[in-house]
Structure 1
């Protein structure tokens, strides 16, 4: 897979935090609790983790849909401004692709209107019909004119997802954020959509953040992987480094349940903790198989696991892990 060149990142988050107030005096929920993350030009980064780990909140903050409580998001080297004019320009350069094409498309709008909507919102003054046709063609719907007057219910699931992708491409963005882009599709169609995203990267230099719970998907599409747990990235590195030699017990547990894994599945105890009550020490320690098995005690690090916090991992660079056990010589 292609590795992004060592230049300034296209999108960068520095010590990003997103907090939601609790109800009736309850503690605030720290959905994103200190994240550094870089995405280079032409790079695909997979953000992986269980439901509720903060992936979507982080993606929304990177898109400017949620203003961070603390920290900074930069695009093209400039800090993100949250004024309406600046945000309008930013959202033309960074587009969102949602997981459920049926929910993303208005059933009363034709394919043409669905794809042209972004152009109309941003006051496009060029040849709208040509732009829509090009976007549909790039998304794999050819000849594009054959789809102009169709409605979402007349399309297959894969075709609907291609329309959603065309709606993002029509504005010629530099980055797309794809939230579970193939989760609602049949297995036979998933590979086609992943191949499309890779082709768009190769042909257009498009960058992508792919939000997913599926490490198998990350292996097939990503250059780098960031594994998220309870508001923080706990392991990051190239897809080969993280998925062939995982160091964090949480990453190992996620990998163990893949059908192609040779390891016995690791069943994690309990549910992820409440983000309003993040435990002290390593935030994974209450569910950690290394601690539960006694290995951490034998290694003399159990007390650190329970009481010593870990630093925020760097947004790019060599593989890194936030784990006392993995860092023990």
Structure 2
């Protein structure tokens, strides 16, 4: 990690090996009608340790869902690699099947991820049948539903998704992931479609599962408030790269990157005027030179970068990829100049 890309690195917590790690990950997609390839993920290092909850935060289109899908083995990287338990991810079908028993996906829309023709029992048992579970299927399904907060589980076995509330459907989806006893879950906007009264219950459930099962989680979200409530560490993503990362309390109480500051400024509890970013995020097939945020940066537009002597660097000089470690890091010329 070069000093240029950090603004005060926090002390690493004990030398615990990552459970899941991405190293110099790049994912590009062919451009449309002869356009340049889209750099959806453009150099990412990210570690998730055993029992750790990491929030991956950013606007729609920043690449966070593509990154999450790659960590699940659903999108092979163009370059770089993903490792799990210290071993590189093997993309052959048999190896991926074994991997997906250990790493499970929880989608944001329980209505869309549950087959309306399948009972709750069938939905939760599906993973066991795919992986040819040799134990007591009924006991495994009941145990998963109980851990997900649906008790007594037998009461829900023969129900269909349309007979459940939104929160109950999300618990069924979580039970379907838990039934295989994974070591890590990837939750893509896990409470986005739920009422505010239910959101806290689902977040509390994820925290309880971490405490009881030692479960690790990557939570993909656009909501920094959610990250504050659930994560140990946050990684803020913009245009294919992580631009700020660190312990959640440090990043969200003292954000260094102008993009993180802008995202935080619109939360209801934020003090001062919200920062209104101009324009839309750039096209990933046309990543700008220099800092990829500079065209929308309120610090550059307001003259603060000029006063710090880094305005030209902001427009022309690229920043290195942040390491995947747990320390607080930021990819911003202005933040580094401020010390």
Where on the TM-score scale, by shorter chain, does this alignment land: which range?
over 0.9
| Pairing 1:160-239 to 2, within 5 Å after superposition | 160-239=169-248
Distance 1:150 1:88, change over 3 A: same
2:313 paired with 1:297: no
Deviation at 1:305, TM superposition (A): 0.1
Matched pairs, number: 327
* Residue equivalent to 1:271: 280
Contact 2:13 2:326 (C-alpha < 8 Å) held by counterparts: no
Cα distance in structure 2, aligned partners of 1:252 and 1:17: 26
Which of 32, 37, 55 pairs up with 2:46?
Answer: 37
Deviation at 1:5, TM superposition (A): 4.9
In structure 2, runs of 5+ residues without a counterpart are 1-11
| Pairing 1:133-144 to 2, within 5 Å after superposition | 133-144=142-153
Distance 1:119 1:225, change over 3 A: same
Which of 54, 62, 69 pairs up with 2:71?
Answer: 62
Q: Normalising by structure 2, report the TM-score.
A: 0.96
Deviation at 1:114, TM superposition (A): 0.2
Deviation at 1:264, TM superposition (A): 1.2
> CA-to-partner distance for each residue in 1:100-135, whole Å, 9 max, x for gaps?
000000000000000000000000011000000000
The secondary structure found in structure 2 opposite 1:33 is strand
> CA-to-partner distance for each residue in 1:118-176, whole Å, 9 max, x for gaps?
00000001100000000000000000000000000000000000000000000000000
* Residue equivalent to 2:295: 286
Cα distance in structure 2, aligned partners of 1:207 and 1:318: 18
In structure 1, runs of 5+ residues without a counterpart are none
Cα distance in structure 2, aligned partners of 1:192 and 1:73: 32
Deviation at 1:238, TM superposition (A): 0.1
* Residue equivalent to 2:7: none
Deviation at 1:300, TM superposition (A): 1.2
The secondary structure found in structure 2 opposite 1:209 is strand
Contact 1:43 1:206 (C-alpha < 8 Å) held by counterparts: yes
Cα distance in structure 2, aligned partners of 1:279 and 1:102: 39
Cα distance in structure 2, aligned partners of 1:88 and 1:327: 44
| Pairing 1:116-155 to 2, within 5 Å after superposition | 116-155=125-164
2:92 paired with 1:83: yes
Q: Return the structure number with greater relative CO, CA threshold 8 A, min gap 6.
A: 2
4+ long deviations beyond 4 Å = none
The secondary structure found in structure 1 opposite 2:327 is coil
Cα distance in structure 2, aligned partners of 1:258 and 1:4: 29
* Bigger mean CA deviation after superposition, 213-222 or 21-30: 21-30
Cα distance in structure 2, aligned partners of 1:323 and 1:263: 23
Cα distance in structure 2, aligned partners of 1:61 and 1:161: 23
Cα distance in structure 2, aligned partners of 1:34 and 1:114: 37
Contact 1:16 1:35 (C-alpha < 8 Å) held by counterparts: yes
RMSD, aligned CA: 0.9
Deviation at 1:23, TM superposition (A): 1.8
Deviation at 1:298, TM superposition (A): 1.3
Cα distance in structure 1, aligned partners of 2:13 and 2:174: 23
* Residue equivalent to 1:249: 258
2:336 paired with 1:327: yes
Contact 1:55 1:228 (C-alpha < 8 Å) held by counterparts: yes
